[in-house]
Structure 1
Amino acid sequence: MSTPPSAEPPALELDAPEAPALPTSRGVRTGYLIAGLAFTALGIIGAFLPLMPTTIFLILAAGCFGRSSPKLEAWLLNHPRFGPSVRAWRANGAIPRKAKVFACLGMAGGMAVFLLAARPKLWLGLLVGAIMAGCAAFVVSRPAPPAA
């Protein structure tokens, strides 16, 4: 006995990664949801404060929402302002050139503020500078998103 064909063929998402299975524990899902909301709040704050990052918090929020609330994950991925950068990171680990420039300028500015305000000992200044340089090298080494 065969089933009648449906009127609509199933939608296929060719390049979409498989969604992770939601944790079975309600407490774990709630923890991911709270973390996702906190990361979203930090990302939104970062959109308005010059030295606070935005995209990294939204990438983390999308990951948390993917494990707790598919509706919030979809909202973030489809957001007109924040969605494209989160989707580009998920698809290719890509960072747009403009974002790379702003990230490196932000790190340099943060380093300057640290040196001027904290007046650290030489070894601490060098350590923080090396960490900042490593982070900047990672950002610069990421590919640019493919042209649309």
Structure 2
Amino acid sequence: MTAHTKKIVLLLIGWFFVIIGGIGIFLPVLPTTPFLLISLWAFSQSSERFHDWLYHHRVLGPPLQEWSEYGVIPLRAKIVALATMAVSATLVISFSSTPWYGLAAMVILMLIGAGFILSRPSRRKQKDGT
């Protein structure tokens, strides 16, 4: 793949996930920040201008900056993510004919994801250590 083609593909990926993240602002079951993080990465590889625009955006930028600088996942996002995982697991277990090992794998992966989410701070630490 040529450098020019790679740049175009990464720009398309970036804008695709900006659009998906934008939709997530209005749909509570669709997480906004993870999609914008993908966009931010794609733009960092393809367009400094779009990367800076997204990172410093008045509305979209603060959660990206909090994650990038402090590893913060806001409490509201944690609650939505964990509730969505719990509802999804319940529905799949209750209404699918997936074999037990598929269900076990799903639950294990969700628990790993939940553990990661819970291990991140909900807000940045203050300078006095609180």
Q: Scaled by the length of structure 2, what TM-score is found? A: 0.84
The sequence identity of aligned pairs, in percent, is 30
Q: Deviations over 1:60-115 (max 9, x none)?
A: 10111111122221221122332111111111222112211111111112222322
Measured in 1, the distance between the counterparts of 2:25 and 2:89 equals 20
1:58 corresponding residue in structure 2:
36
RMSD: 1.9
Cα deviation, residue 25, structure 1: 1.7
Partner SS, residue 81 of structure 2: helix
1:85 corresponding residue in structure 2:
63
Measured in 1, the distance between the counterparts of 2:117 and 2:100 equals 26
Cα deviation, residue 49, structure 1: 2.8
Structure that is richer in helix per residue: 2
Greater Rg, structure 1 or structure 2?
1
From 33, 47, 58, the equivalent of 2:25 is 47
Q: In structure 1, list runs of 5 or more residues that go unmatched.
A: 1-23
Pair 1:115–1:95, CA change in 2 (3 A): same
1:37 corresponding residue in structure 2:
15
Measured in 2, the distance between the counterparts of 1:123 and 1:47 equals 35
User: Which runs of structure 2 are paired with 1:1-148 in the superposition (5 Å)?
Assistant: 25-146=3-124
Q: Structure 2: which amino acid aligns with 1:64?
A: A
Q: In structure 2, list runs of 5 or more residues that go unmatched.
A: none
Aligned positions, number: 125
Q: Structure 2: which amino acid aligns with 1:129?
A: V
Cα deviation, residue 118, structure 1: 2.2
Say if 1:50 and 1:106, in contact at 8 Å, map to a contact too: no
Say if 1:76 and 1:82, in contact at 8 Å, map to a contact too: yes
Measured in 1, the distance between the counterparts of 2:86 and 2:59 equals 25
Measured in 2, the distance between the counterparts of 1:51 and 1:113 equals 15
